[in-house]
Amino acid sequence: NAGVTQTPKFRILKIGQSMTLQCTQDMNHNYMYWYRQDPGMGLKLIYYSVGAGITDKGEVPNGYNVSRSTTEDFPLRLELAAPSQTSVYFCASRRLDEQFFGPGTRLTVL
């Protein structure tokens, strides 16, 4: 049981490039979340999903897209990367009242 896994661990992008952050959970949780954490700040919700095929915006969705074709996977897509998207990205899944987080992806946009 690996829990929530995220790839890659680190990535450097140039301005205007695009990429997909991968997130997979093996706990069969319906709810999944994407957060970003900027230095000295708390985690902020980007997008979330309540099940396969259903996604919704969180607090800071601009510049991102998500899809949820299976229960296990919840990829986060960055189109036209900008320096403001430099952050650490965490994916999480939820069972009852507890969210389980992945180890994070550290993204730098130069």
Binding residues vs another protein (CB under 8 A): 4, 31, 33, 35, 40-45, 48, 58, 90, 92, 94, 97-104
User: Quick one: 48 or 81, whose CB is closer to another protein?
Assistant: 48
In the numeric block, the tokens 């899944």 are attached to: 93
User: Quick one: 77 or 94, whose CB is closer to another protein?
Assistant: 94
User: Least distance (Å) from another protein to the CB of residue 17?
Assistant: 24
